[in-house]
Amino acid sequence: MCPDSAAGPDGFSAHFYQTCWNIIAPDVHKAIQDFFCGTPLPKNFKATSIALIPKVDNPSRWTDFRPISLCNVSNKICSKILNDRLAKLLPDIVSPTQSGFVAGRLISDNILLAQELIHTLGAKRRYENVVYKLDMAKAYDRVQWHLLYDIMRKMGFNEK
């Protein structure tokens, strides 16, 4: 973790954790082990602040900003552990056609796939063809969480 990254809402940066690790390690270990045994993280661990970073000089519209989340380092540690554990499972549970957000796959591969599909559909066929263009910009805002939880349960993920 980069020591000079911005501090989270608790005010403690990665530099603090790295410098004081020999003092705080037992408490951090205990909280994180408890989390992985099913105890909810303390609220202050999960606190996050959102900051808007301008994408352009003299921003004048909301779209000229990029939001970033400033998380507490303790939250980042839990996220990193989960990420490392899930990364081993992803190749087996994510479809080979899913190209974005998976290590070793490029979302730009979809452009080539789309070109091949359009070319194939443009050829003379016995049947009519149809192409749907879906707006995926807000796809994650439309997730039905209970459905996602059901799928994860069926795949063997723990209830907690």
Tens-place pLDDT, residues 93-148? 888 777 777 777 777 777 777 788 777 777 766 666 666 665 555 555 666 778 77
Helix (H) or strand (E) holding 70: strand 65-71
**Tens digits of per-residue pLDDT, 54-94?**
999 999 998 899 999 999 998 999 999 999 988 888 878 88
> Please, where are the H alpha helices in 20-155?
21-36, 43-46, 73-93, 109-122, 145-154
Cα 51 from chain centre: 17
Give mean pLDDT, residues 31-52: 88
For the chain, the distance separating the N- and C-terminal CA atoms, rounded to the nearest angstrom, is: 27
Q: Report the distance separating Cα 101 and Cα 79, nearest Å.
A: 16
